[in-house]
Chain A
């Protein structure tokens, strides 16, 4: 995920006094859910050692998320800044236990817990005191001059817990980059090993066989021309097989049609090779950088191959477009659904490759279908290539 711009930069006008007062009222009202969430999480967390706490956490955590997010938005509005990013999103369909583990690993969860404690004590007191001041209209002056400093103070306190600082964001980014870089290196090494193995077991072995056939044929010419002819014929068959092997290796490295026609043309070619009708729609005014193009191509190829193999779909479609600096490819089918994006090493490999470019993949595949895979990679498109056959000059 790309680093968000520093949230301190004022982007929106901060809320008015009246609105801030409304927020204070809301914050007082949210005291109960926040308290409830905190208690549920604290007790649930303590009891989770004996499994009993898990249902409590299952209720408490989403509640905590919700009230924290409300406060995050209010605090950002009070300060007139963009709403800072919250906790990591948990993938839909993840089982309860997996979700809890993801929550536990996310530092934001612990920040939210700490925040809840601060919110039900200091925060609540501040908002309540302010409201009381406001309701006692006699102190109208206090309201006029006090609203902004008080509410901003409370907002800063909330955001201290609910938003990461600059250093933390950079640390997270470094951790992400380290992880994706390691993945890319692993992936590249695995690819090289695969290519080496394919060449060794395929074309290389066949060339050895070919050379043997020709050697035997050379000897047989004098004594048994009929046998020599058969050997030469064998040699020819072996050559064809070796060429087929080489073609497959080349396709696996960089498909020629991708070099010739770019992403749109190459996906069109993929679609033609599939046993079901695939509609391809592309509005790409240029070509993405070659490594991104190749990573996207192989990811789409993997998606389409999975559709052909597993989905039982009658129709599929691919939509490619570029907007707001993001190249988006959507692959859909009308099959049975229930697809698991994590299953299969092929899909994991292409996802890692995509991640190196900050690319993301989201899969929506309810049981009963349809399955829709959305791939997004931030990148710029080069200006459209001029027709390569500049034959007129």
Chain B
């Protein structure tokens, strides 16, 4: 899979390139500023992007803006956004830019190489990956619709779905059978009034409903 990589720190850029290449990704462009990133994203050969939020010239949130712009130009273009810190506000903006194919992770998560690579792959195939820290922040807003309708167990499953875990992974974490997880997920879909659809899309929609976007 051919990726665009944007990261202004040379050390991290080289590290990420090595890491992703070792996991079978091809780095098409590795850039270090917003202007170069825009050019790289215009390359039709690019299949997904891994972006840092804070980059030159202003060192604020150009990575995030570039991701949203790229998804406006190419709807559904998979983007994994990495950052030194995560904000529920930014997660909301990112997830509002079309359905699915979005990831938003703390940079530290890269240290779990296998899970990170799996996350990039899941995003590239249309799924969502949300950092556990954002998930925890959103979970704290338990009084709100539509979360209110869910049982604590269902909320837990939904949080894991938001983090981008598969049914099998959720089952293993919660120490239940996969069948039980599937049951919970179906209950979530029903309670959130999500129409019958291809499984992955419903998962993404459930997460979106939960983020209130």
Contacts and interface: CB of A to CB of B under 8 A. Distances in A.
Contacts of B106: 243
Nearest to B38: A391
Interface stretch (A98-106, A183-191, A252-260, A288-296): A252-260
A389 B65 contact: yes
Given A240-B111, A247-B85, A257-B89, A391 B144 contact: no
Contact of B34 (A250, A260, A273, A389): A389
Interface string A220-261: 000000000000000010011001100100110000110111
Interface residues of A, number: 30
A184 to B, nearest CB: 27
Interface stretch (A197-205, A274-282, A362-370): A274-282
Interface string A373-392: 00000000000000111111
A118 B49 CA distance: 82
Contacts of B57: 388, 390
Given A275-B141, A277-B144, A239 B87 contact: no
B87 A257 contact: yes
B84 A247 contact: yes
Contacts of A251: 85
Contacts of B87: 257, 269, 272
B60 interface: yes
B45 interface: no
Contact of B62 (A239, A250, A391): A391
B143 A272 contact: no
B111 A236 contact: yes
A388 B61 contact: yes
Contacts of B38: 391-392
A273 B65 contact: no
A352 B106 CA distance: 34
A244 B140 CA distance: 19
B119 to A, nearest CB: 16
Contacts of B174: none
B89 A256 contact: no
In the A-B complex, the 6 residue pairs with the smallest Cβ-Cβ separation, listed nearest first, are: A388-B58, A269-B89, A260-B60, A272-B88, A389-B65, A391-B38
Given A240-B111, A257-B89, A275-B142, 5 more contacts: A261-B61, A276-B143, A277-B143, A391-B62, A391-B69
